[in-house]
């Protein structure tokens, strides 16, 4: 049996998973793996090639023929077939379409296999939607990070305003709610907390407070 440390962080869009997971990874010396970036990379490739997003077989073939590398660093770099797509996978168009591609069972099977392989090679903290339920059901610890849709939209709006975008907060709340709905209601691996996950509602908490809460939980319970 593997003795590797693997920590799962799941939750809805904008809950703070990647921000918190990166900091916990740094404090505990773990490799951070952003599984959302993998679904985004396949979506970007599908959009560029004009693949019909309703064609599950074509999307599955595309995922199989795609090489995705997550290069660790302060700003994790994402390589799609060797090209740096770190920024491109965060475009509004990819964000709008990603949950459709992620609903395809064949795409998930391929990416989940790769994620398990990565977790088998080193100690990791992995964030996504199905890490505690499907990818790493025997994870060392599982956290389900959440916050109200309004707070998550405010966080995203702040981030976007800092990058110079004008933001319509009502539209952002609606978009987040729609993606949450699709992620939680799909047939394969829907977004639900694992039965043994620690639920952490971060509404009103700072990033540091969430990180400290996770680290003290791990110190007390491991
Ligand atoms: O960062 P943000 O919350 O916007 O999303 P993300 O983590 O980059 O994930 C983008 C999308 O990929 C999600 O809305 C899900 O549809 C899908 N996803 C998934 O289905 N399973 C995962 N393990 C990770 C992401
Ligand atoms: O990965 P996920 O989509 O769950 O969220 P994120 O991209 O890590 O976080 C969204 C934004 O919320 C970032 O700008 C964070 O700095 C901010 N934030 C947070 O993550 N946690 C808090 N408790 C407060 C703010």
Mean per-residue pLDDT, 196-205: 95
The pLDDT tens digits of the residues spanning 7-46 come to 999 999 999 999 999 999 999 999 999 999 999 999 999 9
Mean per-residue pLDDT, 126-138: 97
Instruction: Report if residue 100 sits inside a domain.
Output: yes
**Torsion over CA of 12, 14, 16 and 19, rounded to 10 degrees?**
130
Q: Which residue from 26, 22, 24, 6 is spatially nearest to 118, judged by alpha carbons?
A: 6
Residue 182 in tokens: 């699709």
The model scores a pTM over 0.80: yes
**Is 40 a pocket residue for ligand 2 (Cβ < 6 Å)?**
no
The pLDDT tens digits of the residues spanning 148-169 come to 999 999 998 998 888 888 888 9
Q: Which residue from 210, 220, 219 is spatially nearest to 127, judged by alpha carbons?
A: 210
**Is 12 a pocket residue for ligand 2 (Cβ < 6 Å)?**
no
Best residue for ligand 2 mutational test, from 11, 18, 19, 36 (most atoms within 8 Å of Cβ):
19
CATH classification at residue 150:
3.40.50.300
Backbone angles phi and psi of 76, in degrees to 5: -60, 125
The C-alpha atoms of residue 202 and residue 8 are separated, in whole angstroms, by 16
Expressed in angstroms and rounded, the spacing between residue 56 Cα and the centre of ligand 2 is 31
The conformation of residue 131, written as its DSSP 8-state character, comes to I
Whole-number average pLDDT of the chain: 94
- Domains held by the chain: number: 1
Judged against a pLDDT cut of 90, whether residue 4 lies above it is answered with: no
The pLDDT tens digits of the residues spanning 53-93 come to 999 999 999 999 999 999 988 788 999 999 999 999 999 89
Instruction: Report if residue 179 sits inside a domain.
Output: yes
Task: Name, in order, each residue with C-beta under 8 angstroms of 62's C-beta and a sequence gap of 6 or more.
Answer: 42, 45, 46, 49, 51
Instruction: Report if residue 125 sits inside a domain.
Output: yes
The pLDDT tens digits of the residues spanning 178-189 come to 999 999 999 999
Expressed in angstroms and rounded, the spacing between residue 14 Cα and the centre of ligand 2 is 5
Q: Percent of the chain scored above 70 by pLDDT?
A: 99
* Domain, as residue range, for 51: 6-221
Q: Which residue has the higher pLDDT, 219 or 3?
A: 219
The conformation of residue 85, written as its DSSP 8-state character, comes to -
Judged against a pLDDT cut of 50, whether residue 202 lies above it is answered with: yes
Instruction: Report if residue 1 sits inside a domain.
Output: no
Backbone angles phi and psi of 191, in degrees to 5: -75, 105
Judged against a pLDDT cut of 70, whether residue 113 lies above it is answered with: yes
The C-alpha atoms of residue 178 and residue 200 are separated, in whole angstroms, by 22
Best residue for ligand 2 mutational test, from 10, 11, 13, 16 (most atoms within 8 Å of Cβ):
16
SS3 196: coil
> Relative to the alpha carbon of 206, which ligand is closest?
2
Judged against a pLDDT cut of 80, whether residue 125 lies above it is answered with: yes
Task: Name, in order, each residue with C-beta under 8 angstroms of 110's C-beta and a sequence gap of 6 or more.
Answer: 60, 63, 64
Is 14 annotated in a binding site? The answer is: yes
**Is 128 a pocket residue for ligand 2 (Cβ < 6 Å)?**
no
Judged against a pLDDT cut of 80, whether residue 3 lies above it is answered with: no
Give the up-direction half-sphere exposure of residue 23: CA atoms within 13 A in the CB hemisphere: 14
The C-alpha atoms of residue 13 and residue 181 are separated, in whole angstroms, by 11
Mean per-residue pLDDT, 100-110: 97
């Amino acid at each position: 049996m593997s003795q590797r440390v693997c920590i799962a962080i799941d939750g809805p869009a904008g809950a703070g998973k990647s921000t918190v997971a990166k900091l916990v990874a740094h404090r505990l010396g773990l490799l951070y793996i952003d599984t959302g970036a993998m679904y985004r990379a396949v979506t970007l490739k599908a959009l560029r090639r004009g693949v019909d997003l309703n064609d599950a077989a074509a999307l599955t073939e595309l995922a199989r023929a795609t090489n995705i590398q997550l290069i660790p660093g302060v700003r994790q770099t994402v390589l799609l077939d060797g090209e740096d797509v770190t920024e491109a996978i965060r475009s509004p168009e990819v964000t709008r379409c990603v949950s459709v591609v992620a609903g395809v069972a064949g795409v998930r099977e391929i990416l989940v296999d790769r994620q398990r392989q990565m977790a088998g090679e080193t100690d990791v903290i992995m964030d996504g939607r199905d890490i505690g339920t499907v990818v790493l059901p025997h994870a060392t610890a599982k956290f389900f990070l959440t916050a109200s849709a309004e707070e998550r939209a405010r966080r995203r709006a702040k981030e976007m305003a800092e990058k110079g975008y004008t933001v319509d907060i009502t539209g952002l709340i609606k978009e987040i709610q729609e993606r949450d709905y699709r992620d939680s209601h799909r047939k394969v691996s829907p977004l639900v907390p694992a039965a043994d996950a620690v639920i952490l509602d971060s509404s009103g908490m700072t990033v540091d407070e969430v990180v400290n809460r996770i680290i003290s939980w791990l110190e007390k319970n491991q």
